[in-house]
Every structure is written in C-alpha cells, then in structure tokens.
Structure 1
C-alpha cells in the first residue's frame, strides 16, 4: 500500500477485476494503411501499411498518430518501426509506472498493474493525451533498447543531491513541451548567447519549444569591453531564427517552436516590433516575382523571423501613458542601453503604440505581454534563492504558446483531457466521477515524467526538479458547449468551464 492507494483503483477497467486478461482486450482492433502526400507536388510523405488501431479511431486520427508519433527507426521486429497503437501506449505507460515505482509513489504488484491498465485504457479511449515530446521520446530505451547518443542532457539526482549528466538520450525522457530559458549579455559560458544556440537545438531535436526574454542583450552601437561596438540584438535574433529553421527542416519530430520576448524599454524595440512586418513586405515582393509564397515556399524561407512568436513586454507605466494619450499626447518612453547610456533616448509613446498595433494588424506579430500583471500573479516570486522580485526571479517570458508563464530555466510538461469522452450527448450528462479520476491518473503521469526527466542545462534540471511544474489542461470545451446547446459566451458555459478547469 502507498499513500496514493485511495486514488489508484479500477474505474475504467473494472472488467479486469480478478480476471485474467490484458487491458488491450477491452478494445476492438482494426488494421489500416496510412498514405500521406504533399498536396502540391504529390510527393509521398508517409506510406505505412497494416497498422493497428482501435476500431473507434477515424482515419484522420490514424494518419496523425502514425505520421507524427509512431517511432520510425530502431524498433525490434521486421518492420523496424512501430506498427500499432498498442506499442505506443505500452511504452509510454510502462515508463511512467516504472518511474513512479522508482520514486516510491506507488507500490509494486496490484497497485502498479491497476495504474498501468487505467492509463493505457485512457490513452486508447482518447480520454487524454500527453504533449508531443512524450510520444516522441518516452520509453524508447525501456521498451526497445534505443539509447540515442550522449548529448549532454542533465537530471537532478536526489541521492547525490546534485545535477548529473544523463548516460544517453532515452534512459530518461525529455518529456516537457515547454521551456523558458535565461540569457545573459555574453558570448560564451553558462546562460550565454552561444549556450542559447545549443540549448534551443537540444530542445528542438526532442520536439520541445522554448521561450526567452532577450532584453539583457546590449543594443546595436553599445560599447564592447574589448573595444568596438555591439552588432546589436537583432543580429543575434536573426541567427537564432536561422538555427531554429534549420533544426525544423532536418528534424523528424515537429517544427521548432520559439517565443522571443523583448521589454518595451530596449533601444532596439522599434526594429523588433516591425521585424516580421518588414519581412512580409519582402515576401510580397518575392511573390510578385514568381517565388512560391506558401508557408513552406521559397519566399518565406528566404526572409528572416519566421520561426518564432514575438512578444513585447509592456510595463504598467507604459500602458498608463497609453491610456492617458488623449490628455498627454506628447508623452514619451525612455529607451535604455543595457551597458552604455550613449544609446539612451526618449521615444513618443504614441509612436511605439501605433507601430506595435500596425505591425500586429499586418502579420499577427508581435503580441503583447503585460509584464507587471504577470508578476502580480507570480506564485513563486522568491525563486529558488529567496530574493523576492529580483529581476532573475520575475516572470520575464513564457513558452511559445504563452500558457506557461514562470521562472526562467524551468520546464513544464503538459497533457490534455478530452472533455467529450466524459459527456453523454443523448442524456446530456457529464461524468464527473470519471473526469476526477482521470485528473488523478494524468497527474501521476506528469509527475513520473519529472522524476525520470532530463533537461538541456544543469540549471533547468535543478529548477524543474525543485518546482515540478506540470500543465494539465482540457480540450474540446467548445464541442462540449455545442453538444449541450450552450452559447460559448453564456453565463452557463462560463460557469461550467470554470468548474471543469478547477
């Protein structure tokens, strides 16, 4: 018996109570083929035959899982790759259960068996899904003996009370989709621009995304300690953008995902705000010359800034000036050099605000992030060193999608609960008991992924272990409301959504 015994019980798999049989026997299975082609050229992208899925899966689900999440190499057997959803569910869940056993969270024997069956059932029944890196990385060595290389990944060892280097890529797992990296104004060493290249590449390789606030990097024209002047922030952002694009193009998992944040007081804020809008002008010009302007076409591959979401960090002070522009139309905002006051200047607030809105209207970038509001809601303002509201302990960035807002050098692994799997549209009944049980089961999977997780830098390994951020969300909320006949913006829908989100 473990402390978790009260919640580890058969709920979805009661049919297996006291019986011989496997959880996979609770499903009917079918075989199908997956053939995907480039819609313009007809080039075959995926061609897999005789794949196995539950009969309830639509072809589109089979296409996505087989093309994106089946392991394509190194799997024992004649095919050399995964051919069944059984294999995918088994390798992930077996890893989570083994991790929780190692952590002492659950007991071996019946408890571990129940947890395995419940999680496998939930995955196969499409009740929940973990984030993409789990599908890509989790359980590959445990089930298939795939080790990968030794790529300087790290984890915190509680027995040694220190961060150590992982022995290979897949004994542990890079399970987190969301990372926030720190960066300092230096070329080499920990938290440097060069380390940023390496850390981002490690994350993209494993299918993760990253966000960084680059406001510490000195602006163009600021003096360098060895003489001369800095080439500026934008030159480094363009280099990192190219690195993300190259990793995306050569990767086997997913596109690179980046969030680039910049504070409103950085001297290069105007160039940053208009970066993507200016690149769009180039795409339009190239398209007129006959170059392919499709998302993956040569026009967009030629220009910069296409591999990240960009956000401007607005302070309350700046926004108050915006709100007061009718009374004080000449209000200014101070741009400050990072090391060198020679680049300081005052810029009209209206100019920056109009520039921001025009650029966002033209190409949906940059987005706003309200820095002081984020930090007013900060749950860990003392960080790991106890310095409350110190700059390094503030929320300075988010992950690429923006839902993970936390300390730099941390990560978060996600999962989503499919609300429609708990709703009976005929009786208009939502199964709260099953939903609550699923929350417990999914949270254990996320916890397991931290315990046996690994990370690109020692700092991220240490702080992820300490703060243990997880993101259990929900999906199909709009479908639930539609099936229930509730307007999305109604009081009833808002109340139900709030209750389900907790």
Structure 2
C-alpha cells in the first residue's frame, strides 16, 4: 500500500525523497572509525549467593562508555545464546542490526532521494547512537533485525467492552504485549458496574473484579523474556458507579501487605510472598472531567452514571469522593489522576474517537487499540563547551530521529490486527528527551526556578515543532497518515495551539532567545507545510521515563525528572561498585564561577554528606541549583508540578512523572497537588509519598524537636563529669550465637553484668588473621569498652540497625528473616536479647511470636504481658490522664494497636545512609543484582544492571 502511494506522489510531481545532509559524520569516514574501541568483560553475580548469573567476556564498546552502560547493553540488548557464535559481542553489531534495518526499509518505502542519502542517514544514526546522543526504546533493541516479530512499540492502549468475550480478549492481548517487552493501558469504564443488572436479571460483577484476573496474568509474564515485570495501566472514569471501590482497591491491599509483613512474610517488591496480594502489577488512574472538578471546587453533588443507559445510579458528594482519592493516594500512591477534558482538547483526531486511556506511565495518550514507539535524546550532549545549548544541531538530530521512527512503522509487527491497523493509519510517534535535570544543573539553573522552567519549555517547543515540521515534509513524500483527511481541521487547530503557547512563552534569560527563535521558526513552518501537505503522524512527542535507555546513554537524570541525588552509582573494573559525585556538579560549579580549589572542597563535602547545605565556600543563593528529588534539599511537590506545566503545552502526548512528597505530607496536600495539576493544564499526574508502601522502608521523615523556651540567664556553674568504667566480674554469664547472613557465617559472643545488662561483645567473622577478622575484633573491643563506660546499648541499636552493605539478605534466625548487613543483624539480635520491649518497640524490632500475635490480636504482647506492663507503669499518677497523646507517647510505651515507627534517632540513621550512599532508602533492591534501584517515572530502575520494576 505504501509503495503504491509513493509511486503516486512521484507521478504527481511531488518530492521524490529526502535529501540528507551530514551533520555529525564526515564524508569518506565510517562513524565507527572515529572511535577508540576496547574489549571488556561483563560478569554479574547473584547478590545473595555470590553465584555468577551472567558472563560474557571480550565484549566491544567505545572507551568512553561507562561500565554501567556496557553492562546494561550486553545483558539486556545483545541477542543470541551466550557462548555461541550467534551471540552479539560488540556494540557495532547491535547498532548495525537496528540501523541497517531502518535504512533498508527507508529505501524500500521511498523515503530517500538517492542511495547515497540513505547511506548518510544510516551513518548519522549510527554516529548519534554510539556517541549516546539518543536511543530508541527497548523493544527496538530487543526485536529489530532478529528472527523475533519486529515489535518496535513500547506503549500500547487497548480497549475492552461490556462482554465476557471482550474481557477475555483483553487478558490475551495484554499477554502478547508483555511478551514482546512492552506495556499496555486501558479504560474499564465501558464495563457495567456492580450496581447494575445483567440481561439475565443477575447483578454484574463490575470492573474491579475483572482486574484480578488481568493482574494475576501480568504478574507471571516477564516483558520480552527479560528480567522486568509487565507494566500496565488501568483507568476508570470518575462517574462510574464503582469508582469508590476502584479508588480504595490498592489501599486495602496495602493494609494486607503490612499485616503479612509484620507476621514475618517477605513482602518487599519482588518478595516471594508478595504474590499473595492482588492488584500490584498495575498503575491505577481516575479519569476526571472538568464538570467533576468544578463540583469539587463548589462542594456540590455529582452523579455516577450507569454504563448502559447513562442514567444517574447514585449521587455522591464530589468533594468527599475527591478526599477519598487523595486519601488512597496518600496511603499507597494509587490512584493517579488523568484530566479528561484537557487531554481531549489537545487531541488531533477527535473525529475518529476520544482518548480514553494511556499507556502504563501515562505519557502516551491516543486512540484505543493503538501503539507508539519512543526515542529519547540526551539533552546534555547538546550543551557546548561555552555552556550554551546548540538548538540548531538539536533540531537536526530531531528530524533524523523522527524520520527513523516513522520508517519503523512500515515494517513493524504488532500483537493484534486492530492495533496494527490503527497504528499504520495514524502513525503515532513519541520522541522525547532525558537528562533535563542534569542540563539545568550544568547551566547553573535550579530545577524549581523560573529560568529553569523557561529553558525546559523552549527546548521542548523546539523539539516538538521540529518533529511536526519533519512530519509535514514526510507527508509530501510518502503521504499523510490515512486518518488525516477526516481530522485535518482538528489537527491543524492543535498545531496552532502549540504555536500560540510558543509565542506566549516568557523568557527569563537572554541566552534562551536563540532557542526560542529556532522554536518559533519551526512552528511557523509547521503551520505552513501542514496546510499544504498535511502530516505524516497524528502524534509526535511524549516525555517518557527513559529508565533503561537512560543508563544506556549514561544520563545522570531520566526523562523530565530533576537529579535524584548528587551522588551516583559507578561500576568498577573487575567487579564491585562505588558512589561518586555526579560529574554535572563540577561543571555547574565552574559555570557559577567557583575556582578549582573551592570546587574540589565542595565536591568533597557533597561526597561525604550527600547535599550542599553548609558546603565550604558555596553561596546560599546557589543552593537551588543543586536541589534534588530526594535528600536534604528536596524539591517541593509543586516544584515538580510547575515544571510539568511549563513543558506540557509543547508535548503531543503527556508526561511520565511522579511528584515526590515527604512522609509527613498530608492528605490535603495531595488533594491540592491533584487540584493544581488540573488548574495548570496537565494531562496526568501521579504522586508518591515516602514510606507509603511496605516495599520501601522509611527514607525521609525528620522528627521535629520540641521547641523549648530559653531559660532565664543565671551565673554559669561549670561542672566537669568524667565517665567511669564499670568492668565486668571475673566470672560472668554469656551466650554464643551462630548466624548466617546472605550466606556468610559468623559467631557472636555476648557477656553480661550480674543484673543482666550487656557489657561485652565479641564477633568472629572470616579466617583468623584476615582483614575482616581483624576489623571485627577491633570493632568488638570498641563497642565493649563503650558499653562499660556507660553508653546505652539502645544508642548503638539506633545507630547501627538498617546499615546496608554486603553480605546482606536471608538469615537463619527465625526472629530476623532478613538483614541489610551483618552489623544490622548483630544489633537487632542484641536488641531482642537485651532491650526491654518498650525500648525495642520504638525501633520496630519484634520477635516472630510478637509479630504473629499482632496479626491475630492487634497487639504485640499477650494479655498477661500487656496487663503486667500497664500495671508496672501504674500510669505513674493520675496526672497522666491529662497528658496529650504526644506527651504520653514520650512517657510510656505506645499501646500496641498503633503501628510502631522508627524513633527520631533511627530516622536520622536512615537519613545518614541516604546521604552517604546517594540513594533514598525507600527504593527496592534490584531482583537481579541487588543494587538499590531509583525511581523512573512511576516505576523503579536499577543503576547496576538496568532491570526495571515495570516501565521501559
């Protein structure tokens, strides 16, 4: 069909193909010959057992690629069985496999004027890929040029109707999409509610019941046969009669997870017991309308409507429902929000149908039964030595990438015929970018600042403008998309809306004017060429999470996100890893005018503390440049929302981004974030409050100290205290405990005073005479002496529990099933052996029996123990009745229907770990390599091996 169309365009006198000019390459020199290549060994071990789980030696990469990037590409994208001749062993082979396929298809389908233009096109793509200027989405690397189906799309939207046949087909279609390495979303609002009748007279099950089957299916399928789990999105309209059940579904499951966790089950992300709860494989979103949001603001009633006849089945208080949505998101981060009227106001194909759903991460929003292939540019690559953004080169890169993405639709395979038909008829693309946060920092601009947002908006406008301009040029050569004619007026109207938004963009820095001029020129050409030629693509751009491919490009930040932390994970030659300060930080300091000497001192301070507060020589007005998503100077929630609002008018689709909130955030704050997202014109929004999920332990939540009035000044009396050592008796009681942590064996011997207090500790690990054994001996002596000088054991438990380092993992102790390190295990075991219940309950340390009792009775203690505790306290005196709850909590143990939290000191310890490692402690461990993962959109991605928890 496309070949015929091409012949028609040639016969009519239209351009015969694209003429490609060299931008990055040199005539007569192959791009590979400009690079120094080196051989590397990629070896991955199981973080628990030390067993080698992947090994490929002698793989070939450019010498400037990091070990992280080469490991991720080798393990994820190289095809062929390891150890056979069919196995790819060089980045050259991978890039050739993909780009040669694109180049040949472009020639076959009439995209290029000459064979030489096709060759230049291939060389330009290869140069950009090996220099990490951009990357295609993961399915391209998985599938293109292999014997597998040529699935190139990462994002799919399905549809389901109110029939059992359609529902079962939904399960089947999702399975095929997950198998191909992609994710899917759909809207369940056509399924009648549990408050409506079936034609047989019975009551319908409702959409939430059918979500169970789809969730179980997704939980068993690995995307693309790789290590990441399937990703999916489930949407329900706010006027569906089952909306409350949908909203509360995942919050109820999170309560189950907490109860099972306290009973000793492994409920972490990827834990072996997490499969016993439901709805964990999908992101849930509520689709809200402008009329509903107006009812929320007015505090009026809102009608929930039947699916068959549209009549009002039930009337609810709009604001009360809104608060339930916010409460559920506060409890478990679901549901997110999608703003239906805003989405469809920017829809280029309304004559074909409404946009009802999105892909799993909410950036792709288009017609039902459609797909989108993605590619992302590395923005930092376009920042010149003079710290100016090269907009002209950026635009040239965009037009080459858009051309390649459109070519891929010509030869791509799709999981269903309906998806194939819609995608070929509308040709939706999703170009985007990564490293925005790093770019802003390198240019000395804060993420949550007006000049940061205006720069991001100008770059995004230039990108989408160039994409649609190239789309109009392609339409002149190979024809507009098949659905364009019936939607031409609407499509052109949306293009004018983009142009108006660009014209209204307020620049803060004079340096941004060149970028804005380029964007303005592009939109002018879009309007002109679009009116003449139409457009090749219904959609051009989205902002995706760029998880795995972000690491392939050695990006410091993903998608539209700010820097996650100022230190990052770095893989070392020969194995192991270390934390280093992001390389963007020194560049930013140089941009801000700091000398090399002061910059070195600041970088050293960041390496030790993880933040810039009180860094030597750093001006306070520059702190904002180094604000991050987590940590000491975490960006405020509305800082994330305002950045999304700045770039949304210049994106065809939407933005995959999660607004991070501290643990102390309130339900009202989440409700306001969702409300402001609507007012600021976003298409979708998701939130995550620290510690709202069991899979992620506490990371942030500083305990505010009580404000105490300063006493009246009195004459100073200096009293000097000297600690005295209380030695243990010559003959003392003690015990020896053998233990295993993550496969490492050890022995702990503890000795007691006559009153049962701990006074001495010995740890035996490793072979006698080894470094580890010597360090443990010295550590034991230091702890023992401190205990004898009066340092409370509780202080050590607070400081040393939750320390994370290898070996870590499963233990052979029935009370402590998992340990984050040997030190973590030792001091938790000592707490159980020597601390009173009220002391260790403050730290969340319980025996297996106590956790089991809590699940059964709501109390960690037996009735006898609880009565004895209350009696021993005797409530001290009747004045206790007049205490506030907070005061009472400081004077007696919290009674055990209240879930224990870490004490202020333990929280400080958790924060210290975050500062030292550069990672928030709330992210899960990677199931493949055990490295701490980090957020990527609404999912998590591993910096060590590239595995993700769902999204690409």
Which residue number in structure 2 is paired with residue 10 of structure 1?
22
User: 1:492: Cα distance to partner?
Assistant: 2.8
Bigger Cα displacement from structure 2, 62-71 vs 91-100: 62-71
Which structure 2 residues correspond to residues 332-481 of structure 1 after superposition, within 5 A? 332-339=301-308, 344-383=313-352, 393-424=353-384, 426-481=385-440
Which structure 2 residues correspond to residues 481-492 of structure 1 after superposition, within 5 A? 481-492=440-451
* Aligned 8 A contact 1:222 1:343 in 2: no
Which residue number in structure 2 is paired with residue 278 of structure 1?
252
Partner of residue 126 from structure 2, selected from 115, 120, 123: 120
Which residue number in structure 1 is paired with residue 104 of structure 2?
98
* Aligned 8 A contact 1:222 1:342 in 2: no
Which residue number in structure 2 is paired with residue 177 of structure 1?
154
Which residue number in structure 2 is paired with residue 54 of structure 1?
62
For the residues of structure 2 that align with 1:253 and 1:437, how far apart are their CA atoms? 35
Partner of residue 197 from structure 2, selected from 210, 220, 223: 223
Partner of residue 168 from structure 2, selected from 185, 189, 194: 194
For the residues of structure 2 that align with 1:433 and 1:376, how far apart are their CA atoms? 31
- Rg larger in structure: 2
1:500 and 2:459 aligned:
yes
Which residue number in structure 1 is paired with residue 34 of structure 2?
26
For the residues of structure 2 that align with 1:276 and 1:41, how far apart are their CA atoms? 34
Q: CA deviation digits over 1:76-96, x for unaligned, max 9?
A: x93432211111101110111
* Aligned 8 A contact 1:207 1:253 in 2: no
Q: CA deviation digits over 1:345-368, x for unaligned, max 9?
A: 222223311110011011111011
Bigger Cα displacement from structure 2, 114-123 vs 427-436: 427-436
Considering Cα pairs closer than 8 Å and 6+ residues apart, tell me whether 1 or 2 has the greater RCO. 1
Which residue number in structure 1 is paired with residue 604 of structure 2?
none
Secondary structure of the corresponding residue to residue 88 of structure 2: coil
Instruction: Specify whether residues 250 and 41 from structure 1 end up closer, same or farther in structure 2 by C-alpha distance, changes over 3 A only.
Output: farther
For the residues of structure 1 that align with 2:227 and 2:93, how far apart are their CA atoms? 18
For the residues of structure 2 that align with 1:242 and 1:359, how far apart are their CA atoms? 22
Q: CA deviation digits over 1:70-122, x for unaligned, max 9?
A: 1243x9x9343221111110111011111111210114531121111111111
Which residue number in structure 2 is paired with residue 389 of structure 1?
none
Q: Matched residue pairs, number?
A: 448
User: 1:378: Cα distance to partner?
Assistant: 1.7
For the residues of structure 1 that align with 2:271 and 2:52, how far apart are their CA atoms? 18
Gaps of 5+ in 1: 141-145, 149-168, 326-330, 384-392
For the residues of structure 2 that align with 1:249 and 1:110, how far apart are their CA atoms? 38
Q: CA deviation digits over 1:229-282, x for unaligned, max 9?
A: 322211211110111111138932632111110001112111110111111111
* Aligned 8 A contact 1:133 1:206 in 2: yes
Which residue number in structure 2 is paired with residue 267 of structure 1?
241
Bigger Cα displacement from structure 2, 266-275 vs 33-42: 33-42
Q: CA deviation digits over 1:116-168, x for unaligned, max 9?
A: 1111111110000011111111111xxxxx2x4xxxxxxxxxxxxxxxxxxxx
User: 1:394: Cα distance to partner?
Assistant: 1.0
* Aligned 8 A contact 2:181 2:224 in 1: no
For the residues of structure 2 that align with 1:56 and 1:335, how far apart are their CA atoms? 58
Secondary structure of the corresponding residue to residue 481 of structure 1: helix
For the residues of structure 2 that align with 1:355 and 1:206, how far apart are their CA atoms? 36
Partner of residue 320 from structure 1, selected from 274, 294, 301: 294
* Aligned 8 A contact 1:212 1:261 in 2: yes
User: 1:41: Cα distance to partner?
Assistant: 4.7
For the residues of structure 2 that align with 1:341 and 1:317, how far apart are their CA atoms? 16
* Aligned 8 A contact 2:379 2:436 in 1: yes
Q: CA RMSD in A?
A: 2.2
Partner of residue 205 from structure 1, selected from 155, 179, 187: 179
Which residue number in structure 2 is paired with residue 290 of structure 1?
264
User: 1:372: Cα distance to partner?
Assistant: 1.5
Instruction: Specify whether residues 176 and 406 from structure 1 end up closer, same or farther in structure 2 by C-alpha distance, changes over 3 A only.
Output: same
Secondary structure of the corresponding residue to residue 325 of structure 2: helix
Which residue number in structure 1 is paired with residue 142 of structure 2?
136
When normalised by structure 2's length, the TM-score is 0.45
Bigger Cα displacement from structure 2, 196-205 vs 430-439: 430-439
Secondary structure of the corresponding residue to residue 164 of structure 2: coil
Instruction: Specify whether residues 211 and 174 from structure 1 end up closer, same or farther in structure 2 by C-alpha distance, changes over 3 A only.
Output: same
User: 1:227: Cα distance to partner?
Assistant: 4.8
Bigger Cα displacement from structure 2, 131-140 vs 334-343: 334-343
Instruction: Specify whether residues 429 and 351 from structure 1 end up closer, same or farther in structure 2 by C-alpha distance, changes over 3 A only.
Output: closer
User: 1:288: Cα distance to partner?
Assistant: 0.7
For the residues of structure 1 that align with 2:74 and 2:42, how far apart are their CA atoms? 7
User: 1:417: Cα distance to partner?
Assistant: 0.6
1:39 and 2:51 aligned:
no
For the residues of structure 2 that align with 1:111 and 1:249, how far apart are their CA atoms? 36
For the residues of structure 1 that align with 2:404 and 2:151, how far apart are their CA atoms? 14
Instruction: Specify whether residues 3 and 239 from structure 1 end up closer, same or farther in structure 2 by C-alpha distance, changes over 3 A only.
Output: same
* Aligned 8 A contact 1:183 1:214 in 2: yes
* Aligned 8 A contact 1:283 1:299 in 2: no
User: 1:434: Cα distance to partner?
Assistant: 2.3
User: 1:484: Cα distance to partner?
Assistant: 0.9
* Aligned 8 A contact 1:36 1:44 in 2: yes
For the residues of structure 2 that align with 1:438 and 1:106, how far apart are their CA atoms? 17
User: 1:3: Cα distance to partner?
Assistant: 4.7
